[in-house]
């Protein structure tokens, strides 16, 4: 017999966005049903941000040993235990898991159902033997690795982010298809932990980031021994006794062939829409995900969609941001509008690469000659010199009246520095604001202030200012 539940909100998907909505609504005493067919915590906790950054931390530690000589500290040798590095990944997931667990959310007052959900009508979802009729629904089912239609790929063993972190031995030769953030982060992690790594990219590596600053990352990775083949498309793969044979072609027609022990596919994400019964609910979607308006509502006004499944920028922090927006809409009837121009992102390689706001090209297209590009280098930062981390640069994009339009950083702790600039952008701050704050010395944060001060570099040459100063001097 089918059980009927009539909560105020039904959330489908217990990843970052779904958990945030559920916790916030429950805190206000709202009746919430949360449905998850897989692991609590979703992709970020189990297969994405958490394990990847944990493995990168292990790789950074290995790299740190190699850097010791520059500080006069000499090691007799280095032995990398890849299984132990994997144990670290597991331990970090285990430490965070309770925060995202079914038990915690049930303690918050959320009803949690652990089965697939399927819409059967505009305001009805079926979960196993339970029918849910809610006032509002939130679809937050996330995404999975997109598998490109490469001939032979179905016939060879390959890794995605969902299986990569199960490895207990370092790959002898890891080939990666895709030179975006995931592909390059995992390339560096595995190279530093002992693997030979080759990366194939059909277009430009780090194609969404500032090309000049991205080149600093690519040069570092190549200097560490990673082979990055840009404008080189994989045409076919085949299984051999030695591993996986890969055949690719460069933009000028040259053929590249190699055999790798392991193959990782990192060519983007595909929204999780299959099996949801979206057609039955009158919800439009395409290959990019569920279509939503600026208020994150679908074509069914009772249903919202957030996170990766809604297309757009696919980051955990975006799902969290969107969750906050729809809580305002559902609970308080406040008008909301998603603003993706204030969303920062970071590639967590060493050096890190961070961005927020407009790119230089976008700013010039809109504001023309009124745009100023202000820079400061890690080479000129005293903390970077002390740490031996001088490879890097910060770039501020200033528009009319010095307003911050965007920022790009490559270098150590770029992901931390971009926090300040993300706040400044969201609050419409100017170069005057950024030049006026006090940064403790010596810190990498001084990079921001130094770049902002350069906005006024021409002021001492201003004839009128010089005359004003001269006049004031006459008063003693």
Angle at 459 between CA 458 and CA 460, to 5 degrees: 95
141 marked ligand binding residue: yes
List, in sequence order, every residue forming a beta bridge with 258; answer none if it has no partner: 246
53 marked ligand binding residue: yes
148 marked ligand binding residue: no
308 marked ligand binding residue: yes
181 marked ligand binding residue: yes
418 marked ligand binding residue: no
209 marked ligand binding residue: no
d(CA 311, CA 287): 9
Question: Measuring CA to CA, which residue among 422, 416, 405 is closest to residue 321?
Answer: 422
299 marked ligand binding residue: no
Torsion on CA atoms 273, 278, 283, 285, rounded to nearest 10: 30
101 marked ligand binding residue: no
415 marked ligand binding residue: no
293 marked ligand binding residue: no
476 marked ligand binding residue: no
In this structure, the strands spanning 352-357 and 345-347 are antiparallel
268 marked ligand binding residue: yes
Q: Can you read off the two tokens belonging to residue 32?
A: 């919430």
Positions at the binding site for NAD(+): 178-185, 201, 268
Positions at the binding site for FAD: 53, 141-143, 308
Positions at the binding site: 53, 141-143, 178-185, 201, 268, 308
């Amino acid at each position: 017999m089918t059980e009927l539940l009539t909560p105020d909100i039904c959330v489908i998907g217990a990843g970052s966005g779904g958990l945030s909505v559920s916790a916030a609504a429950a805190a206000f005493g709202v009746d919430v049903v949360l449905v998850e067919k897989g692991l609590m915590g979703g992709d970020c906790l189990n297969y994405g941000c958490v394990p990847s950054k944990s493995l990168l931390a292990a790789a950074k530690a290995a790299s740190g040993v190699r850097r010791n000589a520059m500080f006069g500290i000499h090691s007799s040798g280095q032995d990398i235990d890849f299984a132990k590095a994997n144990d670290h990944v597991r331990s970090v997931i285990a430490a965070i898991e309770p925060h995202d667990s079914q038990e915690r959310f049930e303690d918050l007052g959320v009803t949690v159902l652990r089965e697939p959900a399927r819409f059967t009508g505009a305001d009805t979802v079926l979960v196993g033997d339970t029918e849910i009729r809610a006032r509002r629904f939130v679809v937050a089912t996330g995404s999975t690795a997109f598998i490109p239609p490469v001939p032979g790929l179905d016939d060879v063993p390959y890794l995605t982010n969902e299986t990569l972190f199960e490895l207990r031995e370092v790959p002898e030769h890891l080939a990666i298809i895709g030179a975006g953030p995931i592909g390059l982060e995992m390339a560096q992690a595995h190279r530093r932990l002992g693997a030979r790594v080759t990366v194939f990219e059909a277009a430009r590596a780090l194609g969404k980031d500032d090309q000049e600053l991205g080149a600093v990352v690519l040069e570092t990775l190549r200097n560490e021994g990673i082979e990055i083949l840009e404008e080189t498309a994989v045409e076919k793969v085949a299984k051999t006794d030695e591993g996986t044979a890969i055949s690719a072609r460069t933009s000028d027609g040259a053929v590249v062939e190699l055999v790798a022990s392991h193959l990782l596919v990192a060519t983007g994400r595909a929204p999780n829409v299959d099996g949801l019964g979206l057609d039955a609910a009158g919800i439009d979607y395409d290959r990019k995900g569920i279509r939503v308006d600026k208020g994150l509502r679908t074509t069914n006004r009772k249903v919202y969609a957030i996170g990766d499944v809604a297309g757009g920028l696919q980051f955990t922090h975006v799902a969290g941001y969107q969750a906050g927006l729809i809580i305002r809409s559902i609970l308080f009837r406040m008008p909301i509008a998603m603003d993706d121009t204030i969303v920062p992102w970071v590639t967590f390689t060493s050096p890190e690469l961070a961005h927020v706001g407009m790119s230089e090209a976008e700013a010039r297209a809109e504001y023309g000659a009124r745009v100023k590009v202000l820079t400061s280098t890690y080479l000129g930062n005293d903390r970077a010199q002390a740490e031996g981390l001088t490879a890097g640069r910060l770039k501020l994009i200033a528009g009319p009246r010095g307003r911050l339009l965007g920022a790009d950083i490559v270098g150590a702790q770029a992901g931390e520095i971009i926090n300040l600039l993300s706040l400044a952008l969201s609050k419409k701050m100017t170069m005057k604001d950024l030049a006026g704050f006090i940064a403790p010395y010596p810190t990498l944060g001084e990079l921001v202030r130094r770049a902002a001060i350069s906005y006024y570099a021409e002021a001492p040459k201003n004839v009128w200012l010089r005359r004003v100063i001269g006049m004031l001097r006459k008063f003693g």
